[in-house]
């Protein structure tokens, strides 16, 4: 299974917004979700997308989209904004809620989600410009998680924590790319490997 985890430092944690961009740049999260989960005309069943939102008013919130379970999900940004609003509004301090088929919400931090993935024997990779080139990386596990920061990047203390669990720091090139583009490149590289995840 392929996991993509996007950390949003400013993403609003309540569905009381009209404009994704003005809601702590939730547009970045939606673009990453589209890049992770959607192919032309279908949804990737082998992908789980995670977003950690740490903006106001009730951080941290963990959103999880399970490709194999989602239903009636469109790659249209307006549709996804509506789903995001309703999902964020469905959370009421309970542990974990399935707001829509395959779309889960819970109160959990980046560190908490990383620990859970590590316990499930998912190999964790952090994206950074100075990492090992993804094209040269041999993956020994079919369950991999790629951690991507938003337009601000990962907080230093969280990155240091993740690196204790990470298999490696990887790069898709020497330049800073949009988070959603990083995900597209990783999906493309993995799709073109001799085995398909």
Q: How confident is the model over 37-85, as pLDDT tens digits?
A: 999 989 999 999 999 999 999 999 999 999 999 999 999 999 999 999 9
Residues for the chain: how many in total?
A: 197
H-helix or E-strand containing 100?
strand 96-100
Segments in 14-91 forming alpha helices (H): 26-37, 77-90
pLDDT tens by residue, 153-174: 899 999 999 999 999 999 999 8
Give the integer Cα–Cα distance in Å for 150 and 6: 7
CA Rg value for the chain: 16
CATH class of domain segment(s) 1-197: alpha beta
Edge-to-edge strand list for the sheet holding 103-107: 96-100, 103-107, 61-66, 47-53, 2-8, 144-149, 123-133, 168-171
Q: What is the C-alpha to C-alpha distance for residues 146 and 30, in angstroms, rounded to an integer?
A: 17
Supply the pTM of this predicted model: 0.95
Q: What is the pLDDT of residue 196?
A: 47
Looking at residue 67, what is its pLDDT? 98
pLDDT at position 194 is 59
pLDDT at 159: 94
If one counts every other C-beta atom within 10 angstroms of the C-beta of residue 22, the result is 11
């Amino acid at each position: 299974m392929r996991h993509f985890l996007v950390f949003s430092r400013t993403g609003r944690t309540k569905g009381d917004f009209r404009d994704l961009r003005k809601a702590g740049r939730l547009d970045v999260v939606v673009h990453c979700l589209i890049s992770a989960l959607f192919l032309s005309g279908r949804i990737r069943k082998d992908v789980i997308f995670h977003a950690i939102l740490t903006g106001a008013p009730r951080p941290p919130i963990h959103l999880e989209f399970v490709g194999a379970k989602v239903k009636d999900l469109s790659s249209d940004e307006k549709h996804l904004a509506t789903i995001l609003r309703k999902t964020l509004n469905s959370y009421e301090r309970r542990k974990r809620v399935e707001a829509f088929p395959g779309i889960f919400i819970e109160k959990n931090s980046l560190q908490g989600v990383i620990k859970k993935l590590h316990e499930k024997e998912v190999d964790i990779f952090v994206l950074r410009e100075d990492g090992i080139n993804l094209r040269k990386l041999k993956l020994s596990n079919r369950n991999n998680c790629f951690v991507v920061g938003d337009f601000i990047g990962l907080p230093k203390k969280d990155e240091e924590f993740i690196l204790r669990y990470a298999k490696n720091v990887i790069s898709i090139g020497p330049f800073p790319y949009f988070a959603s583009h990083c995900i597209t490149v990783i999906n493309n590289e993995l799709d073109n490997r001799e085995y398909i995840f």
